[in-house]
Structure 1
Amino acid sequence: MGTQTPKAAGSNPSTLRATEHTYAVRPAVERKRTASVSSWHGSLTSREAPAPPEERHHTGHDKRRREQYAVKSTQSPSNSPPRTPDIPEQLAELIITMIPGSEGEELAEAFREGSDTPPITRQSLSELDIQNIITNIKLRHDVNFDRDLSFRPNLDGAKGQEKVKSAQRYWRALVAELELYNRLFRGTPPLEGMDTSDWSTIVRHAERRIPKIFQTIRDVLKSLVPDRDHSRVDEHLDVAMLMQQIERGVCDLVGLSEWMSCLLKEHCAPMRDEWVDKMVSYTRTGVTQNKPESIVKGLCELLGILESMKLDVANHQIRNLKTLLIEDTVNFETHYHLDRLVNGRARVNIQTAQKWYYCATKEFSPLCSNERGSSRLNLEVFVRGVTATLFGKDGRSDFPEAMYLDTDRLQIIKAEIEDHIFFEVCLNMFATLLKQFGYQGPSLSTTRQQLVSSLTAIMGESSIGYGPHQWMANSEALSLEILRQASTLAGRVTTYDYNNLSSANQHLRHLFFSTFTTQARNLEAAVLPIILATIEKYNNSSPMELFNNLVPTTTSATLPSAHHVQSATTADTFSSRHLLHPDTCKLSDITNRISHIMILHWRVWTKIAYVQDDTIAPHSATISASQAPEAHVPSRMKTGETAETYEEAPAAHETPSQ
């Protein structure tokens, strides 16, 4: 099934990819119980007379009914006598009574506030289905720029952390629910203070999550196994029957987990066998020792395994379809955007894009070569406009609105360019100090590389750019290192007193402010001809040829000196102009990535948003998707809506710009 991937959100940390996020669950805490409980296989000895199972069982919880109940309970007249807590609150208080102390309070709070549905559901995994993959516009575009694009759970940023916390609450709520089962369906001691006349309502409120997680497991399993196994899945995961068995204390969870283990091992790679065995072990421990925490860990592991299997299938499909997806890029995206324009659902304001290009034409067309035809002239105007934005010329910061699928890539490239310029400023200060110290010898490449390594260590590892604030924040340490290495190379003994260090720091900060713009203009002047030459060279290449020639095979920070033919030429150009540049190969990679983005974007959007003619007028109401070029691909791959929520795996996608 491929490389092992992380488990479902909230799963016990069993890492499947070293660089992936893990799903942390609080460790189970061994605690004393005030209530006498029996094992899951013990007989049911409830003092109350519960209704028959078919009347008591509910596989779901009606959210609307629950909300209406809450509203009614808060609208009692002020002169009415105090009302007893509603059933969910009574159940939460029962948990606190059963498990005194902070542990009981925590479980009760999780029972109240935790989600009713598990972190992984059939619906949340639906974007990994093949139909959603081939109609996902973001994936279809991004696959052109990443050799190892793949899916992973999205736990990045504040939203990702909130997902982790929500999952943790869910699993703790599940523990609380199992504790309630022990209490409600064993019935010792009696349920004091709770009206048990409406037993089915109490059971419905108590069984909020277990039925849904069984149903989720069943649905996800059926999406992963062949049709011939669906009847087996339905038979073993009959939710109504399982809940009746739990209520009667005869549910064989160990047998169910062992059957699940056999089924998973039939359809999963042998490398996952240990993970599957761990799931069975947790379940067996939980049942035999009556530890709901361990049972929940087993369920958590099971959902993680199912999610990983689904991810493996999706990533395998991406690898198999990659060539077809890349070759069909221009055709698919043209149909996609025209279709949305026709139906009034476009994310792009065509008038805004046209205005951007009109301004770029006025500014840059006088600078373009007159030897080019009109089509090449139009393309050069576009290239100059985007490049000027990348280098922040005249305060430019906004890319064409039509480039929304490339905005993240362009912003990353822009951040890398800024870092390059700041490195250049530091190295210029180093050269200036050498002259001040009277050093007349050659500026040794080993010394320069040592300085670059030291400055990088001070700034810290970053894959997407440090940003101006971090350079300013580290200016004191940077200036000290520059001063130290310049003094050492010049054979000069420098006194590191406060005034000397403060002067160096102030000088570096002044250079950051005063020379950044000049350095940016010089770098743009050196980069732009390379970008134009690269685009000229590959403008008639197929999307797959662009992919093979312009997408790096390693991270851009460690590119070899001869990535391909164009890299060597670019590196020579830069090395002659920027003798102290820390990584000329990285600049070569940046020019390739910029060129790749522009070529593909221009092919899709030229007549939609920039260059108008009599046959296509995207701003009018007469646009037809049939005007877009056809390609010999399955019709299902030509257009369609998509959930644009997938994420790329950082472990497999290391190049920051991709």
Structure 2
Amino acid sequence: MDLQGTKEARTQEEGADGPLDAYGAGGGRSNDYHKNERRDSHSHDNPSNVHPLRRRQSPFTYPPGTRPSAASGSTAPPRREPSPSPQAVVIPEALGLSSRDQRILFKARRNPPVTKKTLSELDLPCIMSNINLRMDANFDRDLHFKPDLDGEKGKRKRKEATDYWGSMATEIGIYAYHAATSGDAEDQAQGTSQRTFEPRLPTMFETLQEVIKTLVPERDHPSVMQNLEVPLLMQQIRKGVLDMVALATWMAALLKTHCAPMRDEWADRMVEQITEGSQSQDPKEIVNGLQTLFAILEAMKLDVANHQIRTFRVLLIEDTVPFLQEYFEGKISRGNFHVESARLWYLAARDRAQEEDEQRSPTTASQSDDGLKPLEALFRGIADQLLQFTPPDEFPETFLFDSDRLWQLRSTIQNLINLEIAWYIFESYVHKRSRYLSARVETYSTFCTRIWSLMEDGMDAEGQPISGIDEDGPEYRGGARWIQNMRSIALEIARFACAACCLDSVVADEVITPIEAALEWHLSNETDLFHYFQNAMREKILTATLSSACKYLPLSPLAICESQRTTPSATNTGPLIPAASSNSNSNSNTSSSTISGTGNGTATTSQSSAPQQYDIERIGMRLAHLGILHWRVWAPLLYMRDKIADMDSEPVAFV
């Protein structure tokens, strides 16, 4: 397997004229693995599969005077049922199949859930041409393929697989009945299209043969062809003499020769299931063995693909910028990707950055070199979208393959702001009671941990909402989860307030009511308090981002990727947990703003805590990594194309 797959993949991509879509984009090109979805080949009824010229054709019209009508007594000819093919199998009435079994027998998909086509996206040329994977390789060291079974799409795929294997169990039972009764001639003669079905077993064996041949060396192909000769297997099935146990044993031995040792247990289980099913004449148990067999094949292909990702990871990362530039140049030149609005967005961000610097005093103005100003404008523009109260409709088109990472950064940043608001409400209540926090740093750390643990309710291990949560769509600011857990968060704040004020351990309504009202108001409205923390967060994030960007500019993409493993300089070395800094003077005996539910309030200047500084440095490193790669691709193509002639005098690196 050579490295020419990279150039070949580019050629394949450049020949595609479809629109660009990121992961999960509706109506776009998608796959079965790594968060992607492929539209199944049997779904021919989707309107997107209809040629546009056919869709624009006007409906058929009858010549004048010949249109049939009810008055003339004309009726449409009865619809004729399709005639069964020569391979059609009669459904024996003696089996007494339920209506559900018959429906699945007719309606289930024709191909197994795992086919050579569905696995083809795990081939090396497809891996090398997968732009999403190339981008993800820069940000995730543990990147690997896995079946996409999440969400509605995953539910649909599982349902299709269940129906397919259910129909296969029924089909095996029908073949066994015909073999035992020697194919009742009278039943065959009376068979009609309503009592026959098109068998799936031949296609399953053909698929099995094709997939196994892609997973074993060529020297084993004659053995595969000999043992999986479809006409011979079907003849043996019709006569009831197929030795499924011997076939399963042979396949297990073949697969165990070439798969990882960790898959051997699966192969043995497959043989046991088929053996038990054959001995007990239970088609469902035989089908369980077939399911295990196809699961082994999929796992083997995934193992190969993930090994290739690890092997070619360095190549994928180092080739990111030239690959993307070549890819987008082709798309733009053919008019398949429109980025002028993104250029206008950048120019507007650059103008805002220039105006902002002009309005600042010399001591507070940006100290960046003039050569870094264009890159700094990019970071300021994207930071504004990450920090704004309402989620942006979308990020610029040039961030198409980074949109998921930007939404995640936005969610983290907004959670930081929300936690600061919650801490502010707590301190305001304490100071209103003329109390003093004796162990403020420890209290703050515990407070953030407790509030964030409440936010993790309804989320999976990867921080994503569990199915059923946020069903109306993603709330990227994080407000949906905050509102959903409003009562619990307010109760936790009230508990901290009671402990700080030496009140009764049982939280009274007079404590929780104003706290809950204030929390709901400030989280649901773009208040002055939000603007204060937004502006403070913006300065901190931009400072951290530009600091990291200056370090990354002379580095290669691989070096930048490896640098992300370095722990930031802050003393906190734990996981990235949104934390909030204090906003009130700890020695103050009075609140700096009202605690009422409608007060906007103002916050006083405060020192950032070590946990928050750690989080901000992590955000800055992530945003700088993303921005530097983006800048190297798009600065010469779009943002700075009018100044390419002056690039030699600019210290900004494009490559």
Aligned to 2:141: 147
Higher relative contact order (CA 8 A, sep 6+): 1
Q: Spell out, residue by residue over 1:419-476, the C-alpha distance to the aligned partner (whole angstroms, 9 max, x if none).
A: 1111111111121222123322434333333322322232234415782122123222
The aligned residue for residue 239 of structure 1 is 230
Correspondence for 2:436 among 420, 436, 440: 440
8 Å Cα contact 1:437/1:492 also seen in 2: no
Map of 1:193-272 to 2, 5 A cutoff?
A: 195=189, 206-272=197-263
RMSD across aligned positions (CA)? 3.8
Question: Per-residue deviation at 1:293?
Answer: 0.6
Alignment of 1:1-400 (within 5 A): 94=91, 98-99=95-96, 104-187=98-181, 190=184, 195=189, 206-346=197-337, 349-368=338-357, 375-392=371-388, 397-400=393-396
Q: Corresponding residue for 2:452?
A: 456
Instruction: Please tell me whether the aligned partners of residues 95 and 108 of structure 1 are also in contact (alpha carbons under 8 angstroms).
Output: no
Under a length normalisation based on structure 1, what TM-score does the superposition of the two structures give? 0.73
The residue aligned with 1:414 is 410
| Mapped contact 1:390–1:414 kept (Cα < 8 A) | yes
Residues 533 and 233 of structure 1, relative CA distance in 2, 3 Å threshold: same
Q: Does the CA contact (< 8 Å) of 2:245 and 2:275 recur in 1?
A: yes
Bigger mean CA offset, 460-469 vs 224-233: 460-469
Structure 1: how far apart are the matches of 2:449 and 2:148?
33
- Residue 288 of structure 1 aligns with an amino acid whose one-letter code is Q
**Contact in 2 for aligned 1:283/1:295 (Cα 8 Å):** yes
Q: Normalised by the size of structure 2, how large is the TM-score?
A: 0.73
Paired residues of 1:118 and 1:213 also in contact (CA < 8 A): yes
Tell me the alpha carbon deviations over residues 110-132 of structure 1, each in whole angstroms, 9 at most, x when there is no partner. 11210000111000000111111
1:133-177 alpha-carbon deviations (Å, 9 max, x no partner): 111111111100001000000111111111111111111011111
**Aligned residues of 2:448 and 2:580 also touching (Cα < 8 A):** no
Q: Is the 8 A contact 2:522 2:530 kept in 1?
A: yes
Alpha-carbon distance in structure 2 between the residues aligned to 1:574 and 1:547: 35
What letter corresponds to residue 534 of structure 2 in structure 1? A
Deviation, 1:375, is 4.0
Q: Conserved in 2, the CA contact under 8 Å of 1:110 and 1:173?
A: yes
Gaps of 5+ in 1: 1-19, 22-60, 65-76, 617-628, 632-658
Aligned CA distance change for structure 1 residues 441 and 79 (closer, same or farther; 3 Å): closer
1:503 pairs with 486, 503, 514, which one?
514
Aligned residues: 531
1:561 maps to which residue?
572
CA contact (8 A) 2:581 2:607 kept: no
8 A contact 2:572–2:610 mirrored in 1 = no
Cα displacement string for residues 349-376 of structure 1 (whole angstroms, at most 9, x for unaligned residues): 1211111112112211233568756542
Aligned to 2:139, the other structure's residue is in SS state coil
CA–CA distance in 2 between the matches of 1:560 and 1:230?
A: 59
The equivalent of 1:592 in structure 2 is 621
Residue 321 of structure 2 contacts residue 633 of structure 2 at CA under 8 Å; is this kept in 1? yes
For the residues of structure 2 that align with 1:571 and 1:393, how far apart are their CA atoms? 17
> Runs of 5+ in structure 2 lacking a partner?
1-33, 36-41, 46-73, 358-364, 465-475, 585-604, 646-652
1:550 and 2:564 aligned:
yes
Contact kept? 1:413, 1:590, Cα under 8 Å: yes
**Greater CA deviation, 423-432 or 461-470?**
461-470
- Pair 99,499 (structure 1): closer, same or farther in 2 beyond 3 Å: farther
Partner of 1:601: 630
Shift of 1:630: 13
Stretch moving more, 421-430 or 455-464: 455-464
1:643 corresponds to which residue?
Answer: none
Task: Tell me, in whole angstroms, the C-alpha distance in 1 between the residues paired with 2:212 and 2:284.
Answer: 23
Counterparts of 1:262 and 1:382 in 2: how far apart (Å)? 58
**In 2, Cα distance between equivalents of 1:262 and 1:442:** 69
Q: Does the residue aligned with 2:199 lie in a helix, a strand or coil?
A: coil
Provide the residue aligned with 1:623 in structure 2: none
- CA distance in 2 between counterparts of 1:563 and 1:495 reads 32
Instruction: Tell me if the contact between 2:420 and 2:581 (Cα under 8 Å) persists in the aligned partners.
Output: no
Q: Equivalences for 1:466-485 in 2 at 5 Å?
A: 467-485=478-496
Q: Tell me the distance in 1 between the aligned counterparts of 2:654 and 2:418.
A: 47
Distance 1:83 1:371 in 2: 80
Q: Tell me, in whole angstroms, the C-alpha distance in 2 between the residues paired with 1:503 and 1:95.
A: 72
Shift of 1:517: 3.1
Contact 1:110 1:176 in 2 (8 A): no
Residues 92, 108 of structure 1: 8 Å contact kept: no
Give the structure 1 partner of residue 540 of structure 2: 526
Structure 1: how far apart are the matches of 2:390 and 2:265? 59
Q: Provide the rounded CA distance (Å) in 1 between the counterparts of 2:309 and 2:495.
A: 51
